[in-house]
Structures are given as C-alpha cells and as structure tokens.
C-alpha cells in the first residue's frame, strides 16, 4: 500500500522521496515519478511530512528511531502520518517518543490508519481514521487529499488506532463468515454464482462478501491482503478487548479461523485462503462446484 500511496502523491505533484528495503519497490517509486532514498533518514531529509506505512509498530519504530531513523532528519514543525495499523498504546508511545526526540523541532504525529486496501491506495480512495491535533491534521490535508477521499478526525493520538481495530474486527469476521457461507452452500450443492447474486441483493450482504465472495468462488487467490495481516490486526483487537475486560467471542472465533489458515500454510498468502479451512473441514471444493454448475447452465 505504501508504494501505491507514494505514487498517488507523486502524481498529485508532491516531491516524493521514499525508502523501502526492497530494491524493486524503490524502482517502482522512481517509475511513478518519485525519488529513491537509501535510508529512512535520507527519505525524510528536511521533509515537512513523512508517511510511515509498514507492517507493525516494531517496524514503525525502526523507521523513525533506528540507526538511520527518519525522525532525526525531519524539518522543524514536520508532521508524521503513521498510516499503518498498530495498537493504540503503540501509537501513543510513538507519538510521545517523537515529541521527546524532536522537542526543539516541534514534531507532531497523526495516528492515521487507513481502510480501503491496495485498491483504495491505488485509486486514492482510502478512508483515514485520524487521531491527532487539529494543527497536525490540517498540515497533512494536502497529503490526505492525494491518497484518500474521506478523513475522519476521531480524537487524540491513539483514537485512530482504536477506531481501526474495531473496523478490522468487523472486516476479518466478515471475511471468515463469507468463506463459511460459501463453503456451506457448496457442500449443499448450491451454485456459488447464484448464491453470490442472491446474497449481494439481500440483507446478508456486506462489503467483504461483495469483494471476497466472487474471488473465492472463482479460485482467485491473488494477494491483496494476507492472512498474516489479519492475524496481526485481530491480535491487536483481542489484546485491546482483554485489557478492557470486554468479551469479543465472534472476533475470537474469526481469529481461530485465520490461525487455522496460517497453520495450513497460507500465512503469507491472500486472506481469501480462509476458504480453504472450510473446504478441508467440509470436504468440498467451492470453485469446482461453481464450475460444475456453470457447465450445466
């Protein structure tokens, strides 16, 4: 997603300098009109805004505060957009550390995880859940405009990550339920294509069903998001619920489904592979059932 967001920023006329540990990702940035940096500090040199889109809080800290960390290279008054999904406590800790490290530079953080996936990043149609000061959010307005169609100021640093974990709890549960529904229908020899058409026009529909069900039924498991990403995000949600002593039985069940998918060898592959868990348990092949019905019709 970070590469797609950088490309959108370059297309919008921003001067973009980016770093990724993968040389191919840096090459794609150059092809999109940006400049490749040799380190996070090089990418952030005298920048007014820094976008951090990595896998988790550990990587975010390394990018910002590591041996070649970006925080030390930012200009006075710069704002960091922490766009990745992390725990609220991690977002607050990173914000505090950034403020302390840049005490003389007046550095600020927007805890702004996004929703919309790779497709949203490529199309500039992400939703941002922005936690931070009004000044910091306003400073990032031109950056947000290139990457997102909706920006919701949701409170102080930490609030963005809290809203995102609630969103991810729902997204992951809907994906698991989509797989469960398709596999159940196929086991009963219901045409998956017909089932998808009916459900998307009925009250059982959801954004995730609409997006994932056709891919699952068609055997399309090209990664857009991975099983591992949802294991991380669900883990954040479960940890937050545990700290609040709040029950989340459905999210816990979804976490188990994703854990089974990871254990079956799909951890780094598309989240649509949660379907394989149900196919193996139910001795059914959804794509094969869909193909058989297509031949008959």
pLDDT digits (tens, 9 = 90+) for 193-231: 999 999 999 999 999 999 999 999 999 999 989 999 999
pLDDT of residue 297: 66
Element (H, E) at 70: none
Band the pLDDT of 104: cuts 50, 70, 90: low
Alpha helices by DSSP H, listed for 244-273, are 249-261
pLDDT of residue 255: 98
Band the pLDDT of 101: cuts 50, 70, 90: confident
pTM for the structure as a whole? 0.93
pLDDT of residue 103: 65
- Do residues 64 and 71 make contact, with C-beta atoms less than 8 angstroms apart? yes
Which residues share a beta bridge with 55?
Answer: none
Give me the mean pLDDT over the 239-252 stretch: 97
Fold of 162-296: 1.10.1040
The backbone torsions φ and ψ at residue 114, rounded to the nearest 5 degrees and listed phi first, read -125, 160
Beta strands in 113-164 (DSSP E): 114-115, 126-131, 148-155
Residue 133's Cβ-count burial label (10 Å; 0-12, 13-18, 19+) is middle
Element (H, E) at 1: none
Per the residue annotation, which of 164, 211, 232, 295 is the catalytic one?
A: 164
CATH homologous superfamily, domain 2-156:
NAD(P)-binding Rossmann-like Domain (3.40.50.720)
Asked whether residue 185 carries a pLDDT value surpassing 80, the answer given is: yes
- Do residues 280 and 184 make contact, with C-beta atoms less than 8 angstroms apart? no
Beta strands in 45-91 (DSSP E): 49-52, 79-82
Q: Taking the domains of the chain in order of start, what are their residue ranges? A: 2-156, 162-296
Inter-CA distances, 44 with 30, 47, 80, 198, Å: 16, 5, 10, 50
Which residues share a beta bridge with 259?
Answer: none
Which residues share a beta bridge with 126?
Answer: 148
Q: Within 10 Å of residue 283's Cβ, how many Cβ atoms?
A: 8
| Active-site residue, 164 included | yes
pLDDT digits (tens, 9 = 90+) for 47-61: 999 999 999 999 999
Q: b vs e for 89-128, b when ≥16 Cβ sit within 10 Å of the residue's Cβ?
A: ebbbbbbeebeebbeebebbbbbbbbbbbeebbbebebbb
């Amino acid at each position: 997603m970070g590469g797609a967001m950088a490309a959108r920023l370059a297309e919008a006329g921003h001067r973009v300098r980016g770093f990724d540990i993968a040389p191919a990702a840096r090459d794609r940035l150059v092809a999109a009109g940006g400049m490749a940096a040799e380190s996070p500090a090089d990418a952030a040199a005298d920048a007014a805004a820094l976008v951090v889109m990595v896998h988790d809080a550990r990587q975010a800290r390394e990018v910002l505060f590591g041996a070649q960390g970006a925080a030390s290279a930012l200009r006075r008054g710069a704002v960091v957009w922490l766009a990745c999904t992390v725990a609220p406590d991690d977002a607050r800790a990173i914000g505090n550390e950034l403020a302390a490290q840049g005490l003389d530079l007046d550095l600020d953080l927007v805890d702004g995880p996004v929703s919309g996936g790779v497709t949203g990043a490529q199309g500039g149609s992400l939703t941002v859940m922005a936690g931070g000061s009004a000044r910091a959010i306003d400073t990032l307005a031109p950056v947000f405009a290139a990457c997102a169609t909706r920006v919701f100021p949701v409170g102080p640093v930490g609030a963005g990550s809290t809203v995102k974990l609630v969103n991810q709890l729902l997204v992951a549960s809907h994906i698991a339920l989509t797989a469960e529904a398709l596999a159940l229908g196929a086991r009963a020899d219901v045409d998956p294509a017909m089932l998808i058409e009916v459900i998307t026009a009925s009250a059982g529909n959801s954004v995730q069903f609409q997006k994932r069900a056709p891919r699952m039924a068609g055997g399309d498991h090209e990664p857009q998001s991975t099983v591992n990403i949802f294991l991380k995000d669900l883990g954040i949600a479960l940890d937050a619920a545990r700290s609040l002593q709040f029950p989340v039985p459905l999210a816990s069940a979804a976490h188990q489904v994703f854990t089974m998918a990871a254990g079956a060898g799909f951890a780094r592959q598309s989240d649509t592979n949660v379907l394989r868990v149900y196919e193996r348990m139910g001795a059914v092949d959804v794509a094969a059932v869909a193909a058989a019905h297509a031949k008959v019709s």
